[in-house]
């Protein structure tokens, strides 16, 4: 197989390639959608992570899909991260993924077929780890490599998490560090190698299966959840705060960061999404005493980022302890208060 740097074949990589949130809202506002079935429990109204359709009194189906261009150079790692990012939406709803189908665009004319074999193997190995069956997919010949998954999961209808349930008095927990956007941009520009960002690569390839880690009574204390991806901590927490009609107060010094993320933010190794995420949230955001670096990092577009959980204060400490057995950088990053003039405050 000819060595090729996948990041050099695309303009944008990973979740940084998402359509800007403001532009997406504008596009969607012009569409008339068909009436929802009565069994549809969660749709796209609040920009939640997945749709949920009730199958029976004890079972509901979680549906989501995610795909993007390469965020790393190694094909196997790219496939693993893309798969992990896709199944994360199911975990963010409190469910477990059961089947996945590939979405693949591949440039047959100028890329060796072994590349896509490695991408698919990375995805397959991640799905095996998640106990999710790889059942097929669809592919096209295209100028740019794109890969992702359509994932179906299951959840009990009374155990669904959405981004609408945060309660005043809750504590906010983040399961993974921030910084994949600027680190990936640094990789693309050859300022670092994949070995230099190994911790971030390992984090992007770690499934957000907090249900399996926590199990038991603690799960009932999770009131709302979302996964932090292309719209950054700012965009996804804004959507969760707005959907819950609450204000989120973040402690900037408690936000976990990947090594060298601050360094590359300071050097302005940024993506377009840093700017569009800031534009999306600026009217709802009070940065308080935040430094310029941290004021940019909260907009950093994450790929396969962590879950943001809104949980009962009385169990937050115990929950973080259990989470750290798998997510060693999980941290309490803020709290939920009654809705104020701003959706997001930083102190």
Contact 84, 304 (CB under 8 A): yes
**Largest Cα span, the chain:** 58
In the set 10, 15, 228, 269, the catalytic residue is 15
For helices 21-28 and 272-281, angle between their N-to-C axes, nearest 10 degrees: 60
Q: What burial class does residue 340 get, using C-beta atoms within 10 Å of its C-beta: 0-12 exposed, 13-18 middle, 19+ buried?
A: exposed
Contact 120, 126 (CB under 8 A): no
Identify the bridge partners of residue 171 per DSSP, sorted by sequence position: 311, 335
Helix (H, G, I), strand (E, B) or coil at 104: strand
Whether residue 15 lies in the annotated active site: yes
**One-character DSSP codes across 295-313:** HHHTT---SS--EEEEE-H
Q: How far apart are CA 261 and CA 166, in angstroms?
A: 29
User: What φ, ψ does residue 296 adopt, rounded to 5°?
Assistant: -95, -35
Q: How far apart are CA 201 and CA 203, in angstroms?
A: 5
Q: How far apart are CA 267 and CA 249, in angstroms?
A: 28
Contact 70, 115 (CB under 8 A): no
Kindly list the catalytic residues. Answer: 15
């Amino acid at each position: 197989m000819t060595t090729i740097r996948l990041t050099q074949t695309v303009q944008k990589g990973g979740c940084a390639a998402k359509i800007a949130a403001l532009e997406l809202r504008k596009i969607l506002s012009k569409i008339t959608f068909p009436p929802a079935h009565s069994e549809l429990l969660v749709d796209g109204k609040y920009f939640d992570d997945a749709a949920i359709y009730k199958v029976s009194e004890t079972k509901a189906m979680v549906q989501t899909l995610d795909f993007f261009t390469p965020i790393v150079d190694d094909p196997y790692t790219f496939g693993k991260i893309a798969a992990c990012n896709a199944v994360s939406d199911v975990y963010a709803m409190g469910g477990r993924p059961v089947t996945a189908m590939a979405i693949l665009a591949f440039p047959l004319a100028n890329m060796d077929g072994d590349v896509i074999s490695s991408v698919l193997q990375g995805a397959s190995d991640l799905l095996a780890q998640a106990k999710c069956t790889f059942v097929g997919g669809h592919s096209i010949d295209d100028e740019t490599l794109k890969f992702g998954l359509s994932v179906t999961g299951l959840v009990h209808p009374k155990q669904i998490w959405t981004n609408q349930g945060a309660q005043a008095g809750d504590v906010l927990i983040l399961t993974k560090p921030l910084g994949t956007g600027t680190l990936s941009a640094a990789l693309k520009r050859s300022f670092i190698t994949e070995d230099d960002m190994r911790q971030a690569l390992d984090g992007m390839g770690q499934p957000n299966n907090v249900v399996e880690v926590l199990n038991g009574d603690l799960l009932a204390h999770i009131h709302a959840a979302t996964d932090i991806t292309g719209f950054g901590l700012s965009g996804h927490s804004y959507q969760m705060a707005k959907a819950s009609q609450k204000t989120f107060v973040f402690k900037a010094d408690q936000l976990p960061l990947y090594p060298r993320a601050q360094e590359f933010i300071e050097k302005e190794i940024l993506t377009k999404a840093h700017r569009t995420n800031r534009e999306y949230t600026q009217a709802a955001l009070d940065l308080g005493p935040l430094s310029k670096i941290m004021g940019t990092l909260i907009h950093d577009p994450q790929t396969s980022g962590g879950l943001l959980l809104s949980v009962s204060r009385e169990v937050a400490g115990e929950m973080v302890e259990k989470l750290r057995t798998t997510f060693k950088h999980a941290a309490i990053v803020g709290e939920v208060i009654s809705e104020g003039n701003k959706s997001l405050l930083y102190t």
